[in-house]
Structure 1
Amino acid sequence: MLNSLDLPRAPRDTRVVVAMSGGVDSSVVAGLMQREGYDVIGVTLQLYDHGAAVHRAGSCCAGQDIHDARRVAERLGIPHYVLDYERRFKEAVIDRFADSYMNGETPVPCVACNQTVKFSDLLETARTLGADVLATGHYVRSEQEGAHRALYRPVDLDRDQSYFLFATTQAQLDFLRFPLGGLSKPAVRELAREFGLSVADKQDSQDICFVPNGKYSDVIRKLRPEAAEPGEIVHVDGRVLGRHDGIIHYTIGQRRGIGVATGEPLYVVHLDAPNRRVLVGPREALATRTLELRDVNWLGSTPLAENMSCEVFAKVRSTRPPTPARLTLENGQARVDLTDGETGVAPGQACVFFDSDSPGARVLGGGWIAKARPVGLSAAPDFSRAELRTHAVPVTATPVRG
């Protein structure tokens, strides 16, 4: 008979390492595992120390959060360890975050953190502690299907974190458990109160936990002073409209704070990092249908094959629902054609695949966006030149047929 973690042994003979960030979600996971009689060990990672972040509401994995995790472990009566991962986190997440912005990309550091520090380094630490599984407070579901586990969207779609877990490998997924996937956030907070945990009403952590006050450009400027070099703001029709103080202050799709005025609404269309140019244009110049991906991770039951093409549902933002698309793998290059198009898609973001757009959709994997081809510009624009023209192609371009 299998226990609640799909393992063939009694809970008391099953060791569960819980990744405890100090927030309510991971704390409730520890409480649930302890209540069910598992051999529970709590592990908290110290990832950074930003002074102001020590007591900043909405932070995680530093200062007060470590203290909160320790108090929860004491309340539950489980062993608790704090591991210093600051150096690894800086190398694998913060430095990559800064370099990505310097290259004109819009990174997703939460994915990088899960991909490296949490589901690689911490997972190995859990194994050294004799763990049978590593449990986290992510809102996703996983189910055993044959010899492996499959990843699905959670019951509470308002808390869906599947977008941030696309890079989880099959081997990692088989070792991970997500006990909150079938619960809503209010239900989780109620459990925290039932367990008598001090974090029951604690504010949720922010997406970029290591950025004090939400000013990511300050972090980048400190790490990479050269990132603040000035350059030109250029219209897609070739006009030089003004100057900027560094491309790190801009993201694709940005409307406000561009720093120039022409009497028409302008949006950031492209960041030309080598030439330090910010390209701007009308909204229709942001329309994108074709994406080129790198570092694709596939979690589907049928393996990817060279020169294959299949229908999927894709998300290019964590807050958007999956929409119809076609994934093509040809000559070692992965391409996604978005049936209805999208606006403001930026290199560095993630494109995540699902098998449907239903609430219970299975996560098929995803990849990092290497290039987003705007349909409002020429088919293969040379962004290193200013001689660009917009063609006012609407977002709802002709659908890609199977």
Structure 2
Amino acid sequence: MKPILDGKVALGISGGVDSAICCNLLKAAGYEVFGFYCIMSDSHLANVPKVRKTAEELSISIDIADVRNEFKNNVIIPFAESYSRGFTPNPCVLCNEKVKFKSLSEYSEQISADYIATGHYARVINDNGYFIATARDSSKDQSYMLYRLSQQVLSRLILPLGEYLKSEVTEMARLSNLSNASDPESQDICFIDINDHAEFINSIGYYGVKGNFVDSDGRILGEHKGIEHYTVGQRRGLGVSSDKRLYVSKISGSNVVLSEIEDLPVSEVKLTDTIINPFHKFSGNNHYRAKTRYSKNFYGCRPKLRDNELTIYFDDKPVAAPGQSAVIYWGDVVVAGGIIK
């Protein structure tokens, strides 16, 4: 945790256990904590009473900002547009960069706070520049989601839970007698109440083209109901009869290409909308690894930067869905990332 200077922290509160324990850890370290909550969707609005109750239990003030318009324009619409064009976006990556940390930073400036903090499981390190690094609890690590944060944000960011196991946080919550100590963790996309992203996308007026399922040789296997229903690596819900286990390997125009699982991994990906930490210089002598989606394995790789285009060459081939983020690590430190073309 950062050494205390003035000790005033703007903490993003969710109403859940993690941000509540963050608050306790910050207060125990001597920081003065001010809570901040973003209403980004109707489900967040419904959560306001719980957030207020949590703030009262923590004995901190809570300020609430309605950022639904910003969230719609920067997260929901790009999410729907991407899926309707056959890509698989990660809305949490967009939200962290465009809405959540932006709003928290603006609030911190309003109250003249020295730092901002959240309950993410990751670490911030200062090594001749600020870097996001993996959490101690690898099963909860959220560094992938934070790769797009700027130096301006990282220089003021405290992530207390990066040094703790989730089991330790759960035990701290139990001992603190918090009313939310036994609440289940949220897992799904926060702005989709129904467990069907395509239905949600259609409900707000976005539709992908309909077309055919084809095999790798272009033979038609059947019709599909629209490319927004599919993503690379998907097996369930295809509705195609075959004596083989088929997966979505590619979406090309109106065609959804189906292949066996051994045809899915790729040897390289090219990235767009790339973020490279300005304090890291790529070297062929370094050993890098990458993730091609959240909560998935690391893959050894060799990043190459040519003419401002970043390509990742993999030693062990992953499955990579266009629209997802690929994030590059040097050891435990995030050094770059971008959107898979």
Give the TM-score normalised by the residue count of structure 1.
0.80
**In the TM superposition, what is the alpha-carbon distance from 1:310 to its structure 2 partner?**
5.9
Asked if structure 1 preserves the Cα contact closer than 8 Å seen for 2:10 and 2:104, the reply is no
The Cα of 1:225 is off from its aligned counterpart by 4.1
Contact 1:250 1:268 in 2 (8 A): yes
Q: For the Cα contact (< 8 Å) 1:300–1:363, is it kept in 2? A: no
User: For residue 103 of structure 1, what is the amino acid of its counterpart?
Assistant: R
Matches of residues 226-245 of structure 1 in structure 2 within 5 Å?
Answer: 226-227=207-208, 229-245=209-225
Distance 1:255 1:238, change over 3 A: same
Partner of 2:31: 38
Q: Does 1:27 align with 2:23?
A: no
Structure 1 residue matching 2:14: 3-state secondary structure: coil
Matched, 1:166 2:141: no
Name the residue aligned to 1:315.
291
How many Å separate the matches in 1 of 2:106 and 2:282? Answer: 27
Counterparts of residues 319-358 of structure 1 (less than 5 Å): 319-343=295-319, 345-356=320-331
**Percent identity among equivalent residues?**
35
Deviations 1:347-390 (A, max 9, x none): 1111111112xxxx1221211111xxxxxxxxxxxxxxxxxxxx
Match of 1:251 among 231, 235, 254: 231
Offset, 1:184: 1.1
- The answer for unaligned runs of 5 or more in structure 2 is none
Which residue does 1:287 correspond to in 2?
265
Q: Does 1:113 align with 2:95?
A: yes
Change (3 A) 1:231 1:367: same
Structure 2 SS opposite 1:226: coil
Structure 1 equivalent of residue 194 of structure 2: 213
1:363 corresponds to: 334
Q: CA deviation at 1:265?
A: 2.2
Q: What SS does the corresponding residue of 1:351 show, helix, strand or coil? A: strand
1:299–1:96 distance in 2 versus 1, CA, 3 Å: same
Q: Is the contact made by 2:10 and 2:107 (CA closer than 8 Å) also made in structure 1?
A: no
Q: Is the 8 A contact 2:299 2:317 kept in 1?
A: no
Q: Which residue of 1 aligns with 2:106?
A: 124
**Offset from partner CA, 1:218-273 (integer Å, 9 cap, x none):** 1100123433x42112222121121111111111111222122132222211112x
Alignment of 1:184 onto 2:160:
no
Q: Secondary structure at the match of 2:337?
A: strand
The structure having more radius of gyration, on CA atoms, is 1
TM-score (norm 2): 0.94
Displacement, 1:304?
A: 5.8
- Whether contact under 8 Å (1:310, 1:327) holds in the other structure is no
Match of 1:99 in 2: 81
CA distance in 2, matches of 1:332, 1:310: 20
**Structure 1 residue 129: deviation in Å?**
1.7
Q: Which residue of 1 aligns with 2:274?
A: 296
Separation in structure 1 between the aligned mates of residue 152 and residue 193 of structure 2, nearest angstrom: 34
Give the corresponding residue for 1:378.
none
Structure 1 residue 326, shift from structure 2 partner: 0.5
Q: Does the Cα contact within 8 Å between 1:309 and 1:328 map onto a contact in 2? A: no
Structure 2 equivalent of residue 6 of structure 1: 3
Give a deviation string over 1:250-308, Cα, whole Å, max 9, x none.
11111222122132222211112xx4221112223212011000122123633469xx8
> Deviation at 1:47?
0.7
Taking structure 1 as reference, are residues 180 and 292 closer, same or farther at Cα in structure 2, changes over 3 Å only? same
Aligned residue pairs total 341
Asked if 1 retains the 8 angstrom alpha-carbon contact of 2:131 and 2:277, the reply is yes
Deviations 1:298-325 (Å, cap 9, x if unpaired)? 23633469xx896411111222232210
Instruction: Give distance in 1, aligned partners of 2:285 and 2:86.
Output: 30
Q: Does structure 1 residue 142 correspond to structure 2 residue 139?
A: no
Deviation per residue, 1:76-122 (Å, 9 max, x gap): 22111111011111111111111110111111111111111112232
| Change in CA separation of 1:300 and 1:355 when aligned onto 2, cut-off 3 Å | farther
Correspondence for 2:46: 63
Indicate the RMSD between aligned Cα atoms, in angstroms. 1.9
Is the contact made by 1:310 and 1:328 (CA closer than 8 Å) also made in structure 2?
Answer: no
CA distance in 2, matches of 1:225, 1:161: 30
